[in-house]
A and B are shown apart, each in its own frame.
Chain A
Amino acid sequence: DHGFHVRYRMEASCLELALEGERLCKIGDCQAGVSFFEAAVQVGTEDLKTLSAIYSQLGNAYFYLHDYTKALEYHHHDLTLARTIGDRLGEAKASGNLGNTLKVLGNFEEAIVCCQKHLEISRELYDKVGEARALYNLGNIYHSQGKNIGCIGPHDPGEFPEEVKAALQEASDYYEANLIIVTELGDRAAQGRAYGNLGNTHYLLGNFRKAVMFHEQRLLIAKEFGDRPAERRAYSNLGNAFVFLGEFEMAAEYYKRTLQLARQLKDRAVEAQSCYSLGNTYTLLQDYEKAIDYHLKHLKIAQELNDRVGEGRACWSLGNAYTALGNHDQAMHFAEKHLEISKEVGDRSGELTARLNLSDLQMVLGLSYSTNNSVLSENQDADYGFHSARSRLGRRRSMENIELVKLTPPKVQNWN
Chain B
Amino acid sequence: PLASRQVIELQSKVVPSKQILHSDNMEMEPETMETKSVTDYFSKMHLGSLSYSCNSKRK
Binding site for B on A (CB under 8 A): 1, 3-4, 7-8, 11-12, 15, 18-19, 22, 45-47, 49-50, 52-54, 56-57, 60, 63, 78, 90, 92-94, 96-97, 100, 118, 130, 133, 136-137, 140, 143, 192-194, 196-197, 200, 203-204, 218, 230, 233, 236-237, 240, 243-244, 273, 277, 280, 283-284, 317, 319-321, 323-324, 326, 357, 360-361, 363-364, 367-368, 393, 396, 400, 403-404, 407-409, 412, 415-416
Asked if residues B34 and A93 are in contact (CB atoms below 8 Å), the reply is: yes
Majority SS of interface residues in chain A?
Answer: helix
Asked if residues A236 and B25 are in contact (CB atoms below 8 Å), the reply is: yes
B18 at the interface (CB under 8 A from A): yes
Task: Give A388 Cβ to nearest chain B Cβ, in Å.
Answer: 15
Given the known inter-chain contacts A4-B58, A360-B14, A364-B3, please indicate yes or no for A136 contacting B32, CB distance below 8 A: yes
Report the Cα distance A93→B33, complex, angstroms. 8
Task: Give B2 Cβ to nearest chain A Cβ, in Å.
Answer: 7
Which B residues from 26 to 59 make CB contacts under 8 A with A? 26-42, 49-50, 52-54, 56-58
A-B complex: 5 closest residue pairs judged by Cβ atoms: A93-B34, A53-B36, A196-B29, A193-B29, A56-B36
Task: Give A94 Cβ to nearest chain B Cβ, in Å.
Answer: 8
Residue ID in chain A nearest B26 by CB atoms:
A200
Asked if residues A22 and B13 are in contact (CB atoms below 8 Å), the reply is: no
Asked if residues A8 and B50 are in contact (CB atoms below 8 Å), the reply is: yes
Instruction: Count A/B pairs, Cβ under 8 Å.
Output: 169
Chain B residue numbers with a CB within 8 Å of A45 are: 53
Residue ID in chain A nearest B53 by CB atoms:
A46
Given the known inter-chain contacts A11-B54, A22-B38, A326-B7, please indicate yes or no for A236 contacting B32, CB distance below 8 A: no
Task: Give B55 Cβ to nearest chain A Cβ, in Å.
Answer: 9
Chain B residue numbers with a CB within 8 Å of A100 are: 31, 33
Given the known inter-chain contacts A53-B37, A244-B21, please indicate yes or no for A323 contacting B50, CB distance below 8 A: no
Asked if residues B15 and A404 are in contact (CB atoms below 8 Å), the reply is: no
Report the Cα distance A45→B57, complex, angstroms. 12
Asked if residues B10 and A323 are in contact (CB atoms below 8 Å), the reply is: yes
Residue ID in chain B nearest A54 by CB atoms:
B38
Asked if residues A277 and B32 are in contact (CB atoms below 8 Å), the reply is: no
Asked if residues B29 and A56 are in contact (CB atoms below 8 Å), the reply is: no
Report the Cα distance A5→B22, complex, angstroms. 64
From A54, A203, A408, contact of B21 by CB (8 A): A408
Task: Give A11 Cβ to nearest chain B Cβ, in Å.
Answer: 5
User: What 4 new A-B contacts, CB under 8 Å, besides A50-B42, A230-B29, A323-B10?
Assistant: A50-B38, A53-B36, A136-B32, A400-B18
Given the known inter-chain contacts A50-B49, A407-B23, please indicate yes or no for A200 contacting B37, CB distance below 8 A: no
Report the Cα distance A204→B25, complex, angstroms. 12
Residue ID in chain B nearest A273 by CB atoms:
B25
